[in-house]
Amino acid sequence: LDEAGWFPEAAIAAEDIRFRTHPGFDLVAIQEALDASANEERMRGGSTIAQQLAKNLFLDGRRTLRRKLRELLLALNMEQRMSKDAILALYLNVVEFGPGIHGIGEASDAWFIKNPNQVTPREAAFLTSILPAPHMWHKKISKTNRPPIKRVNEVLNRMRIRGTLSVSEHRWSIQERLRVVPP
């Protein structure tokens, strides 16, 4: 995590805002996902970083109740055996950021030709904003050359609310031009 730059805080802001305080599952996020499903065609996740890590390491991507229960049990086991920092570090090193792009080292190099600790808050927010659907975003950005600015700004706003970014860092990050090099 020492060499991950803005990625740990951007991932928490984008994927699991209560990461530091929950036991491996987040009832608030689950309820939010259920509430949102009434208005959306496709149900969005309520998974924590530990649950996503369990899925990435041990399970397939099928959306079944059985897989979700196994994911939950694995996440609870990891939370008991590993520190939050260890879970976050492992997650950041295995999560997919596009076709064949795994971990923040490959992602920051592929999308920005930089090392993770050189990536700006806006760039880290961009990469974590594509995590729910990295293949879809890769395809869309490659075609249009337009990153998901609204989602990136939401991640930056959440980083500000969490206190990760100061007011001036947030203002600068929102205004920074995002230059991506789709791999």
CA R_g for the chain: 16
Q: pTM of the predicted model, to two decimals? A: 0.90
CA distance 115 to 98: 17
Q: With the CA atoms of 102, 65, 18 and 5 taken in that order, what torsion angle do they form, in degrees rounded to the nearest 10?
A: 0
What letter does residue 139 receive in the DSSP assignment? H
Q: What does the pLDDT look like over 63-86, one tens digit per residue? A: 788 888 899 999 999 999 999 999
Q: What does the pLDDT look like over 22-47, one tens digit per residue? A: 999 877 767 776 676 666 655 456 78
Residue that the structure tokens 């492992």 belong to: 90
Phi, then psi, of 102 in degrees rounded to 5? -120, 130
The DSSP secondary structure of 89-114, one letter per residue, reads: HHHHHH-EEETTEEHHHHHHHHHHSS
Angle at Cα 60 formed by Cα 150 and Cα 109, nearest 5°? 50
Residue that the structure tokens 């570090």 belong to: 89
CA distance 157 to 164: 10
Q: Which residue has the higher pLDDT, 34 or 10?
A: 10
Q: What's the pLDDT score for residue 34?
A: 66
Arithmetic mean of pLDDT over the chain: 91
